[in-house]
Structure 1
Amino acid sequence: MIPASKSTFSTPWQMHEFFAGSGLVSYGLKEMFHCVWANDISTQKAAVYQANLNLKHFILGDIKDIQGKSLPKAHMSWASFPCQDLSLAGAMGGIHASRSGLVWEWLRILDELKEKPKILLLENVIGLLSTNHGNNYRAIHKAISERGYKCGAIVLNASLFVPQSRPRVFIIAVDKKSHIPSELTGKGPCWLHNSSAIELGNSLPNWIWWKTDRPSKRTVTLKDIVDPTVPFDKDNVLKLIPPKHIEKLNKFDFIYATGYRRTRNGKQQLEIRCDGTAGCLRTPEGGSSKQYLILKNKNEIHARLLTIRETARLMGAPDTYILPGSYNDGYKAMGDAVVMPVAKFIGERFLAKLAEAVY
């Protein structure tokens, strides 16, 4: 289980948060950045955000209706824009499609601000780097560069911090005129860059090769996030587990595994993983089902859905994090969020240091 962080909100740096979701970014950054303005269109996510952060200037509504001139001053702008048109689980419509294309609304608002923040961060699925032969990323990189920033993309998998496989790309941008501490940049790629990022970095102007040391080894396991008191009531799905996956389970006397229902060759099956790490949490809108928890104990195998609290733990949220609403509300809020310790890691390793250097 993830311990709660201390809350001070006495931070010198201020931020805007677009597509704010359930607030895990602001929660992870709260020791470094105070969110002075946030926006999301989802009523359910807004309820989670406000229950935990109680932000006075949370604007519930369409980003298309936001006017940049109305926003308070901030040192950083964070935008976790929609991934549906860039995800392998989605429609792959690209960076100009209706959902992922909302990033252009964020850029419009940036243009309308009385004073642009010197630090930007955009978050999305790793498909942003590879889909359409990398041209989706190139379009954003060009737009950011034209607005007076230099930037680079890094890839972080949440499995470094929590027992969930959730690779994501983070674009960190800084005002071109600002000094960047040498400790934060390298002359080439490092462990933060996958093959797509390397290809883009070698071909684009105004690219920054961000660098930092790897985090310490994760200690939280899948077993640690499981509530053992919850009954297993979905054994009817066990018949969908393919024989090869049953063989994997049978190698263990006791194990917690996770699985998703998939359709392969017109047939439904429950594909499981037994590596102590959950699959990536998703939402129904992302083209996938809810994730099952499988228990193998000697000769018995049982199944149930992950609880909302378990999904929150997989997102790095402490058990004190409030999750109002229905099961579906909570699942969507967590499945569509940024993993809290990942946001905190980026804040500590890059964003706070950049703020100190450029302001």
Structure 2
Amino acid sequence: MKKLYKGIHKFQESYFKKEEDFFKRISKGQTPEVLFITCSDSRVDPNLVTQSKPGELFIVRNVGNIIPPYDAIKDKNSVAAAIEFAVLDLKVKDIIVCGHSNCGAMQAIFKDEKEFDKMPHLRDWLRLALPVKKMIEKYCPNAHGESRQRIAEEENILAQLQNIQTYPFVVQALKKGKSISTAGIIISKQAGYALIIQRRICLRRLCMEKILEKSRNLILIAVVSSLAASIAAFLWGAAKTATIILNLVVSYGKDPLAAIALIELMDTFLIATALFIFAVGMYELFIKDINLPEWLVIHNLHDLKAKLGSVIILVMAVTFLKHLVEWRDPQGTLFYGIAIAVVSASLIAFSHFGGKD
């Protein structure tokens, strides 16, 4: 505290006396042109970074420079209150969302929520940034460490620029064209520069969205075709199973080929399962998320490949079981089993390590 007291005294005796006229002018009212939303991090100084004077920036600071969507917090939303005041009363011309490198909030969204049991308010606040985490897990599953951190910091700014456009009065101001504009910047504390990221990220996201939009119909055709093939395979397998069981009943279980036929049918059901997983995975990845059991949830392409790999292993195992039951060529069956074991081990290794850097 002594350091702060000394600082205040020094300010009053030196800087304030030199700029006394300036402070008298701004004491009569504020007319900032910029709403500057940034992180509470003690290393971020908006006025220092922008080289602006008191009265030029209307500053909002919170953990993670987060802007809650318009309806996200129904009661006592201080950020929303500040945005309303800045846009509707102060008539700011620009809204800046400013992030920074090594942001603790962007590190925290990837941690287990149990770590924040003693900080429930922080835990609930960080949940507002979970869309950033989900986006990275979906589109950048192999990003880890510093790479994931950098992506999260940049994408968080874009997410907040999107959130602020859920406020009706902001949308209305943006539609007027020159009345207000938005932008995002990220400060690198190590290199000492601020990078304007809105245009770069928006263009990247826009290009990806256009590509996905154009390919969405093709993906939907693939999804429907795979789903239809899966249903057809399931129905055909069910019909064949019923026929085999009926033959077994008629022959009093004496048909020696019935067991082999049932094993062969297992392949049909597994292939139908693979087609179903492929259809669901493509729909989740490229069209929209759907509520499914956990074993069917697919966050990224690695998840899809891992699940399909598991089905392939089962298909090979069933085929090997068929060879064992027939037992026509012991040596060939042995080599076939070894080959299946090697391929299965490779697929398991890929499933375990393939999603990591």
Query: Which TM class, normalised by the smaller chain length?
Result: under 0.3
TM-score of the pair, normalised by structure 1: 0.24
Q: Which has the larger radius of gyration?
A: 2
Question: Higher RCO, 1 or 2 (CA under 8 Å, sep at least 6)?
Answer: 1
The structure that is helix-richer by fraction is 2
TM-score of the pair, normalised by structure 2: 0.24
The structure that is strand-richer by fraction is 1
